[in-house]
Amino acid sequence: MTYRAAPVTQRDGSSLENSNCRYASIATGIDYHTLGKTKSTGKKMRDYSNDPSGGSWSADGVRAWENGYDMKLGVDDGETWDDAVDMLHEGRLVHLEVWSAQTGGPCCTSACGHVMAVAPESRQNSNGDWEWLVADPWCKPPKWVWWRASRLRSGAEEWADRCGFRSAQGGGPRDIRDLHRERLAVIVKELMGRWTPDRPLKEKDDDYEPSLWLQGGATGGAPILFTHTKAQTGVQDVAINTSANDPVTSSRRVALSEGTDFFSDAALTRKLADLSNDRVVPLLGTAVGEDGRAVVINTSHPYSDGEARPTIVYVRESALGAITHED
């Protein structure tokens, strides 16, 4: 259970909005990193980076956080998808670099390098596919969207592989992990600046050849590019989607009346909505040290896609009606 930051769009009307995907993503990240105490925008992050135009790379993001907010952004260039998943499971928000045409959205589908914020919230959809919660900065208005892990992975691996292909074209190593940081910076910034969501790579001009990793002929994980925040797992209670196939439940059931307020946090400070009808729902128990009582209801309110799902939310103790037990 962790804090959900506000998503930030890069399409804010600033002069470099089409190139500010990294900066908008790390603006979402700094909100998460500080649990909402620090808010920013893509334009502000660009200004703090001292990067006046064009494409960016991880060190520009590091500089933006340090110059603007005296905070440290973690860099994981050359690590693998499994490493990124480990970071997410630790409760860190990840800024993932992808080839958008391969990731296929949520909002940017252009043939270009792109950076998106991935929250440490996952679920298994009705088809059994794992999804992560993503804030694509190309979305306007900004929003969180559930996106398949397999698509995020393939987009991340292809983007880094295209950077390796560009290195090989210039006589350098195919594996970006063998590149000096200075050379990697040149390549990432060049390709990020060459193709953007509004100026994508045209298919007729694409000479890219996938490496053995992407063809399935090499062992070990393919390298990807990403940065991360600090871990925030367990610091705050929020509403949690439970798998529709195997939902969290309880043998105790409680009656709740129409109009009952329900909240996303155990301290009952963030109201989601009130019940539209009387219900008997699973009662999970008392939140330690807080006033909320955890129950499971079917609701769409915490989710940007409007889909109703079994969700852990919190109600006042005074709202609890008759409690029954099921064998």
DSSP state of 180: -
pLDDT given at position 128: 82
Shared domain check, 121 and 53? yes
Q: 56 in a domain, yes or no?
A: yes
Clarify whether residues 244 and 220 are in a common domain.
no
Q: Is 51 exposed, middle or buried (0-12, 13-18, 19+ CB in 10 A)?
A: buried
Provide the pLDDT for residue 245: 54
Asked if 71 contacts 82 with a C-beta cutoff of 8 angstroms, the reply is no
Are 85 and 152 in a shared domain?
A: yes
Half-sphere exposure of 84 (CA within 13 A, CB side): 29
The Cα-based distances of 72 to 29, 37, 152, 253 in angstroms read: 11, 15, 25, 46
User: In total, how many domains does the chain have?
Assistant: 2
pLDDT at 214: 87
Q: Decide if 210 is inside a domain.
A: yes
pLDDT, position 236: 42
- The rounded distance, in Å, linking the Cα atoms of 257 and 113 is 50
* Nearest CA among 41, 29, 40 for reference residue 5: 29
Same domain assignment for residues 160 and 278:
no
Q: Same domain for 37 and 142?
A: yes
For residue 3, being part of any structural domain is answered with: no
What is the mean pLDDT of each successive set of 10 residues along the chain, which is 327 residues long? 87 97 98 96 97 94 98 97 93 97 98 97 86 97 96 97 97 96 97 97 96 79 96 58 62 90 86 91 75 88 76 91 78
Domain CATH number, residue 126: 3.90.70.10
For helices 42-49 and 58-69, give the axis angle rounded to 10 degrees. 90
pLDDT value for 237: 45
Name the domain boundary from 206, 228, 250.
Answer: 228
Domain extent at residue 257: 240-325
Per-residue pLDDT, 324: 85
Q: Which among 228, 250, 276 is the end of a domain?
A: 228
The per-residue DSSP string of 25-71 comes to HHHHHHHHHTTTS----HHHHHHHHT--SS---HHHHHHHHHHHHS-
Specify the pLDDT at position 250: 74
- What is the reported pTM? 0.74
Boundary residue ending a domain (228, 262, 292): 228
Do residues 25 and 113 make contact, with C-beta atoms less than 8 angstroms apart?
Answer: no
Residue 235 lies in a domain: no
**What does the block give as tokens for 78?**
């050359």
How many angstroms separate the CA atoms of 70 and 64, rounded? 9
